[in-house]
Structure 1
Amino acid sequence: MHDMQIRNLAENTQKSYLIQVTSFARHFRRSPELLGPEEIRAWLIYLREERKLAPASLGATIGALRFLYRVTLKRPWSDEDFPLPKKPFRLPVVLSLGEITTFFESVASLKHRTILMTAYAAGLRVSEVVHLKVTDIDSKRMVIRVNHGKNRKDRYVMLSPRLLEILRLYWQDAHPKEWLFPGSIPGRPIARHAVGDACELARKRSGITKPVTPHSLRHAFATHLLEAGTDVRRIQLLMGHRSLSTTSRYLKVATSTVCATTSPFDLLPHPAPIPSPPPAPQYF
């Protein structure tokens, strides 16, 4: 626990690592100090074959075990001792501008609508938008401060003038004190699952058949910026991505780069029309 705190791991990461290591030890009914690479492989096979976990879900388990044995227990083990299954690459499903508009019109609550609009307008993760404070909205500089985003990194994102109007309307109605979007528990922000539930309810009301989650709005933010001609590097900074390759995946779904490219089929000369088949002979 102290090793994670010293390295400033996010609170959710610390909780996840503890859960993963505890499950690993309980499965073999021994202290992790007495377990090794063979048990790690057996545990991963069990999770994959018996528990039917997807490769992406095994990432947290492997991350926790790597931290435990390499950092805390200082075992000189290599990456091969923590086999990571290859994750299938899936492109995000992106909402069009029209679908975004329809979706927002289907959010009945002013508070929930403001939360989801903020997530889209600034490209925020759901954990970032629920932890916004009133003081994070800087209307003089027209920026939003994101405190302790993913990997504990702060950043600034744009404050849309249109979003500022919505936020002021919401503030006049709710008068939030500390947290911009307070939850049902006094002194705590709104829960992530509450935002997810509001998102799913709005999707059903809108009639949109594509999957819509708070993270879908972040995908749409990046894709729509790219389609509008924004530089990929600038989008990376706004999204808070560590690697440019993470941001570059939106090049694969942006219509400005995919659909605007001319197919070589369109460069071919028009072929002669296909002759009509001869009429069938008449027998009676």
Structure 2
Amino acid sequence: MISFSTYSKDFNEYLQIEKNASPYTVKYYLQDIETFFLFLQQESIHDLEMIDQRIVRVFLTQLYNQQLSRRSVSRKISSLRSFFRFLERELIVTMNPFINVTLPKASKPIPGFLYMEELEKLFEINDLTDPLGQRDQAILEILYATGIRVSECQKLTLGNIDFSIGTILVSGKGRKERYIPFGSFAEKALNTYIQDGRQKLLHKSNIETECVFLNSRGKPLTDRGIRLILKKMVEKAALTVHVHPHKLRHTFATHMLNEGADLRTVQEMLGHENLSSTQVYTHVTKDHLRKIYLNSHPRAND
């Protein structure tokens, strides 16, 4: 009987160390592969070399019968393709049965974003005389100013911030680095927090850390901590919309495009490998473009 536990430790290390995958990616990849191994047991397949196109088709049929979304099926195929690529490299299998499987075309939902009135309410709720209030304001400003992911925000160090030219150096997916500019509001919030609030928080822990954002005990914030901070800000602002860090990323991209930024520039700042990932935001701005057209074109209205 073949068991995923035989390979899980090595594959886990491969994802974390060599692929620099996020904890969420690792978690779901391992879950997806474990699901596949349960399927193999049900089908009485005891040798990885027995897995061929027919077995793969049966597995995919089961997934579709469970009425999983195309996005979920695509992720499982990607997980298994990576897993068998790893097994090939380790000379455990001689072929990757998922290499030629076509990913189902996922419908891309239009990303949600915040209007300026909603943003203004968030920007006004923090107590800027309090260390935690200063920190929360700096987090909010930098997420909206740069469109970085919450994991990238959590990893920011003091050395990543260059106040002289107003940029941050971000380590993104796959250890790819990029520079992103930030404006005067983010600069002021960061400066206030780093010079005042962060120093006070640091005294509580007596540890040395270059991490920019600290928790109430003076230790580096986690991804989850940043999400909870934003959740509390939304509650204080009495907003009825659901706001998560990624929505601020969507908002950054949408507002940039609405104000005339080109797709390539936004792609670079978001750290998207493919332009198609950035193009999803153009759907959000179509109403805005139509308003400009109707107001500007001589023959748009009779």
Smaller-chain TM-score range? Answer: 0.7 to 0.9
Structure 1 residue runs of 5 or longer lacking an equivalent are 270-284
Determine if the alignment matches structure 1 residue 179 to structure 2 residue 211.
yes
Distance change in 2, residues 1:98/1:5 (3 Å): closer
- TM-score normalized by structure 2? 0.74
CA contact (8 A) 1:235 1:247 kept: yes
Q: Please, what is the CA RMSD of the aligned residues? A: 3.1
Number of aligned positions between the proteins: 264
Aligned to 1:277: none
Aligned to 2:77: 62
Aligned to 1:160: 183
* 1:119-141 deviation digits (Å, cap 9, x = unpaired): 11111011111111121111123
Determine if the alignment matches structure 1 residue 102 to structure 2 residue 121.
yes
Distance change in 2, residues 1:229/1:268 (3 Å): closer
TM-superposed deviation, 1:54: 2.5
The equivalences for 1:84-103 within 5 A come to 84-103=103-122
* 1:212-245 deviation digits (Å, cap 9, x = unpaired): 2101111111111122222222111111111222
Determine if the alignment matches structure 1 residue 126 to structure 2 residue 150.
yes
* 1:29-87 deviation digits (Å, cap 9, x = unpaired): 3454443434433434444444x54322333321121123345334164655x353331
The structure with the largest alpha-carbon Rg is 1
Aligned to 2:35: 23
TM-superposed deviation, 1:208: 3.0
Aligned to 1:139: 163
Question: 2:20 aligned to 10, 21, 37, which one?
Answer: 10
Distance 1:204 1:18 in 2: 34
Structure 1 segments of 4+ aligned residues over 6 angstroms from their partners: 184-187
* 1:237-266 deviation digits (Å, cap 9, x = unpaired): 1111112222223222225424322299x8
Aligned to 2:95: 75
Distance 1:156 1:105 in 2: 28
Distance 1:245 1:170 in 2: 36
TM-superposed deviation, 1:169: 1.5
SS of the residue 1:145 aligns to: strand
Higher helix share: 2
Structure 2 residue runs of 5 or longer lacking an equivalent are 1-9, 89-93, 203-208
TM-superposed deviation, 1:101: 1.2
- The percentage of counterpart residues that share the same residue type is 27
Aligned to 1:245: 276
Aligned to 1:280: none
SS of the residue 2:293 aligns to: coil
Question: 2:59 aligned to 27, 37, 43, which one?
Answer: 43
CA contact (8 A) 2:21 2:173 kept: no
Mean alpha-carbon deviation: is it higher for 175-184 or for 190-199? 175-184
Distance change in 2, residues 1:104/1:267 (3 Å): closer
CA contact (8 A) 1:20 1:64 kept: yes
- TM-score normalized by structure 1? 0.78
Mean alpha-carbon deviation: is it higher for 217-226 or for 63-72? 63-72
Matching residue's letter, 2:236 = R
Distance change in 2, residues 1:94/1:113 (3 Å): same
Aligned to 1:203: 234
Aligned to 1:281: none
